[in-house]
């Protein structure tokens, strides 16, 4: 017995062992990439090393713009744009408040959507990022030297500024198209009389080639459809701009049903060069308007608001040959032009097909007058005459397409939660990859330019569910990084993002990093309340206003003892950071101030206000850990009763500041 | 003839001093990936790696009570004149063609060089030892005496968290080469005159 059973047990034991460690593995699609392709190595950026790309990802309903590194997915900075940011004092300091002024007054929040990087010769040049605010229509320009918002311009006659803020290939214009059709100009009228009475404003903002300053060159009064997304042409088509439309039904209620009745909506093709020449030659009609134009001055370190009172309006009927409609499958979202400029991809988000138009066929059709009637006088080009082809059953809910330099397109599918790679010329699907979950837009650095950078693709998802550790009902927003250098897309990394990551723009790091500002030169500071040395610091009373011209340097304020302030005063702390060293900001906050702290970069002057309500001796201190003596960087303000006669005095080390040798 | 050219070229090499740094002190620390540095020119101190370096050296050093690097020092007035006179003399000696004068020029230059370095040492000593008694941080040597922060005269030295380097820059090398040429001129000139006599 023994002799028989022993080998039997031995064999059984060995086979169990084999089964447990080397048995057949089940390949779980979508999740295997990280191990099989050595993805960790591809996204690992060693301590102290730099990422190869910047990704500027919209903060969505946070109103801001976030800056990430690729391939690591690390968050570097959140640039405040349309929303207040107490961490940086943006929208709280006296200097930055005007950035958030609109014709509706001060608005502390915005909904940021589509960042786009300025271009030169059809390639992203890394000078500025433009981004649109959807809710109260605005376009912002962010400097990629300071990574700060330098300009915000409000868009009149527009509502839901969504088909924005795309830049032409030499940064001649940035566009701002309305999502909602609204009365143009606004007026009191019944909602159900919308059809034929509302309009869709498409605004073209001219960009100053040197400083980037924007102004509304003209506004096209289009039919009252909804304009969803847009893209400029490239190369041969570079004089044209393409806008997707939905609700060509012009429904005003229960839109999800009533605006989804037409089998096809349109892509509006607009020859912006022609319109630009038309207005340059005196065309268009100047109409009354009221919109805020906020500009930041980097020397004065403050923003100013100018209320603009008129806008040049262009009627499409007045410029024959500049406006056409291209029938496009149902309620298209993305409107994307490939790097060659020949193919215009409309992602019909409610259709089972994607429409690809041909620019050369479009020109031919215009020449041949291959039109199927018109909409409000704008010719509708015959579908067959303009269509290059359709991509059938590529997935469900196509939203947005970007491109590589090898003739491939990458489209997101919201409903089927996937990214699909397909060849534009032969309309064949090459690869598809699941995303987690419900992907909106995607981004390939330079993927909407003539010269895409073929390494990475970032998919931005609307839903994350179980992908991260749960954090209550609201879980993080997320993006996913793919390597697209090979035939198959390879999922490398999930990383969380701020707000809703609507859209993004990416660029090779070397185009930006060396010109990133390190500090502001104190010598160039023209702020009217700057104290450029401790000797210039002072405290001045003007009625019940007290202006403190204060300086900060490691590791003290000057002055740091102030007396003579009274209850009921309005105290302005105008604080200048005297440092001229990289990465040495100082902060300041005063007990009981009804505002945020200030975080002041070297060489800059910033102001906050404090209205003391209680008698006493109240401290202020540096809020940013600046140095070994950071904890000692503090001071006192004595607050006397309202009827006190105590004169203003201010000291540092019990002397008027600046008596000692200056740095 | 050759010796005259050597002497004149040697003297003219000193012109570099008017537009190139003579000496450099660099301070390295982990939080300064681009080190702080000071270039010493004949008439001014310049930030070596950034225009604000000197201001930032002052800011660092005030923690231990060191004085601010002055905007100007008397040497910035006298040194350009002294160097100018020496260049003039060198060229003149070259034209006169008396090889013994070349040696005189070389010795004069050597003496001035030594004096210059001694002057530099005195300033460094004062800079590193004459500390504000109210200094925020006061360090002591193991023997209980106050720690000094004198940068090295020549070479590299660890001072608290900084590694200090003190080395000549391009104008000093030109000065050295000029002196070497003058010395060569002396030997070549002596040979030339010997040959003349033999003829």
Per-residue pLDDT of A315-366, as tens digits, reads: 999 999 999 999 998 899 999 999 999 999 999 888 878 999 999 999 999 9
Flag whether the ipTM exceeds 0.90.
Answer: no
Q: In B, what residues contact A, Cβ < 8 A?
A: 34, 52, 55-56, 58-59, 63, 68, 136
Return mean pLDDT, chain A.
93
With CB atoms and an 8 Å threshold, state whether A629 touches B56: no
How long is chain A? Answer: 663
For residue B196, pLDDT over 90 is answered with no
Measured N-to-C along each axis, helices B75-96 and B170-198 cross at an angle, to the nearest 10 degrees, of 20
Q: Stretch A564-572: mean pLDDT, rounded?
A: 98
- Band of pLDDT at residue A36, cut at 50, 70 and 90: low
- pLDDT for position A659: 67
Nearest CA in chain B to A523: B52
Q: Could you give the residue ranges of the DSSP H alpha helices within chain B?
A: 2-13, 53-61, 75-96, 99-129, 170-198
B136: chain A residues, CB-CB within 8 Å: 629
DSSP A373-409: EEETTEEEEPHHHHEEEEEES--SSEEEEEE-TTSEE
For residue A295, pLDDT over 70 is answered with yes
Number of H helices, E strands in chain A: 7, 45
- Band of pLDDT at residue B1, cut at 50, 70 and 90: confident
Q: Stretch A607-628: mean pLDDT, rounded?
A: 96
Q: Stretch A571-587: mean pLDDT, rounded?
A: 97
With CB atoms and an 8 Å threshold, state whether A580 touches B55: yes
Q: Which is higher by pLDDT, A17 or A587? A: A587
- pLDDT for position A14: 42
Domains of chain A by range and CATH? 53-515 (2.130.10.10), 522-651 (2.60.40.420)
In angstroms, the separation between the Cα of residue B105 and the nearest Cα of chain A is 41
Neighbours of A617 (CB within 10 A): 10
Q: Are A355 and A390 in contact (CB under 8 A)?
A: yes
Q: Stretch A591-613: mean pLDDT, rounded?
A: 98
Report the share of chain A in percent with pLDDT over 90: 91
For residue B171, pLDDT over 70 is answered with yes
Give the tens place of pLDDT for each residue, A169-201. Answer: 999 999 999 999 999 999 999 999 999 999 999
By C-alpha distance, which of B23, B138, B127 is closest to B68? B127
Report the share of chain B in percent with pLDDT over 70: 100
CA-to-CA distance for A566 and A84, rounded, in angstroms?
A: 30
Nearest CA in chain A to B50: A581
For residue A620, pLDDT over 60 is answered with yes
With CB atoms and an 8 Å threshold, state whether A581 touches B52: yes
For residue A5, pLDDT over 60 is answered with no
CA-to-CA distance for A29 and A58, rounded, in angstroms?
A: 30
Query: Domain-by-domain residue ranges, chain B?
Result: 2-28+35-198
Closest CB from A582, A629, A663 relative to B58: A663
Q: Stretch B62-91: mean pLDDT, rounded?
A: 94
Cis peptide preceding A473, ω within 30 of 0: no
Give the tens place of pLDDT for each residue, A488-547. Answer: 999 999 999 999 999 999 999 999 999 999 999 999 999 999 999 999 999 999 999 999
Q: Are A78 and A86 in contact (CB under 8 A)?
A: no
A554: chain B residues, CB-CB within 8 Å: 59
Q: Are A73 and A43 in contact (CB under 8 A)?
A: yes
- pLDDT for position A30: 47
Give the tens place of pLDDT for each residue, B83-110. Answer: 999 999 999 999 998 999 999 999 999 9
CA-to-CA distance for B89 and A527, rounded, in angstroms?
A: 53
Closest CB from B34, B52, B59 relative to A554: B59
- Band of pLDDT at residue A37, cut at 50, 70 and 90: low
Instruction: Tell me how far the alpha carbon of residue A624 is from its chain's centroid.
Output: 27
CA-to-CA distance for A459 and A433, rounded, in angstroms?
A: 11
Least trusted range by pLDDT, from A35-39, A169-173, A550-554, B12-16: A35-39
In angstroms, the separation between the Cα of residue B174 and the nearest Cα of chain A is 33
CA-to-CA distance for A397 and A359, rounded, in angstroms?
A: 24
Q: Which is higher by pLDDT, A31 or B34? A: B34
Per-residue buried b or exposed e for A632-661, using 16+ beta carbons within 10 Å of the residue's own CB: ebebebbbbeeeeeeeeebbbeeebbbeee
Q: Which of residues 473-492 of A touch B (CB under 8 A)?
A: none
Return mean pLDDT, chain B.
94
CA-to-CA distance for A266 and A257, rounded, in angstroms?
A: 18
**Can you read off the two tokens belonging to residue A89?**
């004092």
- pLDDT for position A349: 86
- Band of pLDDT at residue A11, cut at 50, 70 and 90: very low
For residue A8, pLDDT over 90 is answered with no
CA-to-CA distance for A414 and A332, rounded, in angstroms?
A: 13
- pLDDT for position A392: 84
With CB atoms and an 8 Å threshold, state whether B59 touches A628: no
How long is chain B? Answer: 199
CA-to-CA distance for A459 and B155, rounded, in angstroms?
A: 55
- pLDDT for position A27: 39
Strands A105-106, A116-120: pairing kind:
unpaired
**Residue A654 contacts B, CB cutoff 8 Å:** no
Neighbours of A46 (CB within 10 A): 7
Q: Stretch A605-615: mean pLDDT, rounded?
A: 98
- pLDDT for position A350: 86
Closest CB from B34, B59, B136 relative to A663: B59
For residue A16, pLDDT over 70 is answered with no
Q: Are A439 and A415 in contact (CB under 8 A)?
A: no
Q: Stretch A464-468: mean pLDDT, rounded?
A: 93
A654: chain B residues, CB-CB within 8 Å: none
- pLDDT for position A18: 40
By C-alpha distance, which of A244, A240, A242 is closest to A273? A240
Q: What is each CA distance from B66 to A628, B44, B150, in whole angstroms?
A: 17, 20, 10
Which H or E element spans position A479?
A: strand A477-483
């Amino acid at each position: 017995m023994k002799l028989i059973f022993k080998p039997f047990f031995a064999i059984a034991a060995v086979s169990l062992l084999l089964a447990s460690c080397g048995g057949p593995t089940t390949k779980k699609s979508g999740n295997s990439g990280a191990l099989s392709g050595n993805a960790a190595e591809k996204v690992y950026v060693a301590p102290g090393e730099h990422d190869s790309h910047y990704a500027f990802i919209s903060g969505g309903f946070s109103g801001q713009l976030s800056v990430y590194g690729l391939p690591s997915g690390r968050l570097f900075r959140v640039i405040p744009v349309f929303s207040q940011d107490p961490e940086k004092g943006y929208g709280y300091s006296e200097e930055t408040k005007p950035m958030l002024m609109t014709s509706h007054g001060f608005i502390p929040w915005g909904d940021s959507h589509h960042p786009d990087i300025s271009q030169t010769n059809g390639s992203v040049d890394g000078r500025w990022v433009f981004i649109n605010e959807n809710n109260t229509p605005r376009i912002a320009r962010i400097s990629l030297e300071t990574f700060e918002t330098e300009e915000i311009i409000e868009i009149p006659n527009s509502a839901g500024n969504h088909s924005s803020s795309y830049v032409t290939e030499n940064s001649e214009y940035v566009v701002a198209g309305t999502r909602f059709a609204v009365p143009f100009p606004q007026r009191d009228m019944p909602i159900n009389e919308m059809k034929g009475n509302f309009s869709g404003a498409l605004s073209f903002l001219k960009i100053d080639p040197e400083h980037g300053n924007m102004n509304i060159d003209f506004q096209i009064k289009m039919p009252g459809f909804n304009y969803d997304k847009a893209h400029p042409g490239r190369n041969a088509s570079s004089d044209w701009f393409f806008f997707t439309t939905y609700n060509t039904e012009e429904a005003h209620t229960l839109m999800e049903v009533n605006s989804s009745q037409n089998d096809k909506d349109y892509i509006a093709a607009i020859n912006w060069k022609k319109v630009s020449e038309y207005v340059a030659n005196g065309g268009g009609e100047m109409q009354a308007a009221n919109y805020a134009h906020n500009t930041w001055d980097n020397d004065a370190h403050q923003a100013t608001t100018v209320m603009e009172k008129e806008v040049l309006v262009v009627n499409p009927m007045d410029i024959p040959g500049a406006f056409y409609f291209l029938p496009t499958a149902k309620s298209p979202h993305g409107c994307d032009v490939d790097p060659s400029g020949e193919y215009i991809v409309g992602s019909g988000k409610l259709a089972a097909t994607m429409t690809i138009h041909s620019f050369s066929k479009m020109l031919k059709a215009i020449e041949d007058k291959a039109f199927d009637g018109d909409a409000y006088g704008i010719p509708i080009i015959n579908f067959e005459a303009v269509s290059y082809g359709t991509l059938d059953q590529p997935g469900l809910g196509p939203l947005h397409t970007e491109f590589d330099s090898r003739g491939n397109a990458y489209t997101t599918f919201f409903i089927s939660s996937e990214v699909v790679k397909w060849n534009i010329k032969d309309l064949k699907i090459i690869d598809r990859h699941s995303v987690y979950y419900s992907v909106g837009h995607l981004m390939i650095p330079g993927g909407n330019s003539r010269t895409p950078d073929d390494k990475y693709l970032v998919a931005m998802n609307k839903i994350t569910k179980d992908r991260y550790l749960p954090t209550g009902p609201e879980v993080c927003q997320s993006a996913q990084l793919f390597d697209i250098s090979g035939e198959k897309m390879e999922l490398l990394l999930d990383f969380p993002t701020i707000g809703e990551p609507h859209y993004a723009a990416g660029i090779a790091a070397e185009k930006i990093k060396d010109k990133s500002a390190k500090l502001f030169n104190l010598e160039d500071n023209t702020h009217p309340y700057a104290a450029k040395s401790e000797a210039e610091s002072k405290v001045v009373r003007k009625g019940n206003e007290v202006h403190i011209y204060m300086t900060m340097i490691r590791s003290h304020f000057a002055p740091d003892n102030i007396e003579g302030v009274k209850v009921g005063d309005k105290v302005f702390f105008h604080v200048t950071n005297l440092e001229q060293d990289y990465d040495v900001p100082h902060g300041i906050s005063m007990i009981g101030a009804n505002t945020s702290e200030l975080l002041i970069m070297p060489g800059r002057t910033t102001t906050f206000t404090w209205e003391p309500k209680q008698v006493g001796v109240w401290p202020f201190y540096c809020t940013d850990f600046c140095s070994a003596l950071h904890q000692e960087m503090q001071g006192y303000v004595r607050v006397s009763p309202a009827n006190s006669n105590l004169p203003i005095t201010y000291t540092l080390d019990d002397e008027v500041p600046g008596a000692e040798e200056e740095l | 003839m050759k010796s005259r050219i050597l002497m004149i070229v040697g003297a003219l090499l000193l012109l570099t001093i008017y537009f190139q740094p003579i000496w450099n002190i660099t301070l390295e620390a982990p939080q300064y990936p681009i080190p702080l540095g000071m270039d010493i020119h004949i008439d001014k101190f310049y930030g070596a790696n950034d225009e604000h370096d000197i201001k930032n050296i002052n800011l660092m050093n005030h923690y231990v009570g060191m004085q601010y690097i002055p905007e100007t020092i008397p040497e910035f007035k006298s040194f350009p004149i002294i160097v100018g006179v020496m260049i003039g003399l060198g060229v003149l000696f070259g034209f006169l063609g008396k090889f013994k004068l070349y040696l005189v020029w070389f010795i004069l230059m050597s003496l001035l060089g030594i004096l210059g370095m001694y002057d530099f040492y005195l300033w460094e000593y004062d800079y590193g030892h004459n500390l504000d008694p109210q200094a925020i941080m006061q360090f002591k040597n193991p023997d209980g005496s106050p720690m000094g922060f004198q940068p090295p005269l020549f070479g590299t030295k660890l001072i608290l968290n900084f590694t200090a380097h003190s080395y000549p820059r391009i104008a000093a090398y030109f000065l050295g080469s000029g002196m070497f040429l003058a010395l060569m001129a002396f030997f070549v000139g002596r040979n030339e005159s010997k040959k003349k006599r033999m003829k």
